């Protein structure tokens, strides 16, 4: 355990360095921000890492809030319903019917969001077929598609 605690800060620093923006990321976030959407990044990763990554790709100014598993009381991750409950509490926003959770993971984000009572958008870059029990509200293959759908 002692060794893990020593390594963890180095791992977090390493996570901050890995940044590969998706094609159309900047334009899509700028568009959604300009339209007045409240944009929140909710991640299973460390909050320090996501803040650093957003700054490195010059997109932090479009994001209203960030929330991560390390901010939950028991370090729970998506798709655990507690993650989404704590996210809504943190945001002080409980109108689930007005939330669209956008994510690339069918299990963590689409199913997790659906289980939490939210509409979901699957960012399906690989154009895979979703199983019937995990059908998103909306599906996109490129981020820029959001500018046409929202």
pLDDT digits (tens, 9 = 90+) for 99-129: 999 999 999 999 999 999 999 999 999 999 9
Residue 43 β-bridge partners: 68
Domain for residue 16, yes or no? no
Whole-number pLDDT of residue 27? 97
Domain for residue 6, yes or no? no
Domain for residue 134, yes or no? yes
Domain for residue 19, yes or no? no
- The whole domain housing 71 covers 24-149
Residue 114 tokens, joined: 């659906």
E strand spans, 45-103: 65-68, 100-103
Integer-rounded Cα radius of gyration of the chain? 16
pLDDT digits (tens, 9 = 90+) for 62-91: 999 999 999 999 999 999 999 999 999 999
pLDDT digits (tens, 9 = 90+) for 28-44: 999 999 999 999 999 99
Domain for residue 68, yes or no? yes
Domain for residue 5, yes or no? no
Q: Residue 5's pLDDT band (boundaries 50, 70, 90)? A: very low
Residue 109 tokens, joined: 């984000």
Whole-number pLDDT of residue 126? 95
Closest CA to 118 of 144, 146, 79: 79
Domain count across the chain? 1
- Rounded distance, CA 35 to CA 150, Å? 9
Position of tokens 């959604």?
A: 32
Domain for residue 15, yes or no? no
Contacts of residue 48, defined as CB under 8 A and 6 or more positions apart, other chains included, come to 12, 15, 16
| The model's pTM | 0.86
Q: What CATH number did the domain enclosing 41 receive?
A: 3.40.50.1000
Domain for residue 144, yes or no? yes
- Rounded distance, CA 3 to CA 23, Å? 38
Residue 79: is the preceding peptide bond cis (ω within 30°)?
A: yes
């Amino acid at each position: 355990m002692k060794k893990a605690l020593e390594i963890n800060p180095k791992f977090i620093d390493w996570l901050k360095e890995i940044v590969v923006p998706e094609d159309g990321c900047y334009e899509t976030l700028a568009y959604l921000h300009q339209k007045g959407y409240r944009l929140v990044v909710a991640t299973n990763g460390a909050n320090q890492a996501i803040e650093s990554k957003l700054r490195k790709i010059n997109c932090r100014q479009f994001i209203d809030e960030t929330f991560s598993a390390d901010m939950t009381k028991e370090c729970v991750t998506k798709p655990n319903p507690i993650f989404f409950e704590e996210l809504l509490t943190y945001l002080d926003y409980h109108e689930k019917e007005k939330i669209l959770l956008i994510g690339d993971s069918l299990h963590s984000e689409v199913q997790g969001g659906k289980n939490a009572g939210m509409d979901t958008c699957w960012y399906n870059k690989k154009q895979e077929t979703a199983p019937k029990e995990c059908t998103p509200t909306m599906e996109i293959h490129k981020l820029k598609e959001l500018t046409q759908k929202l």
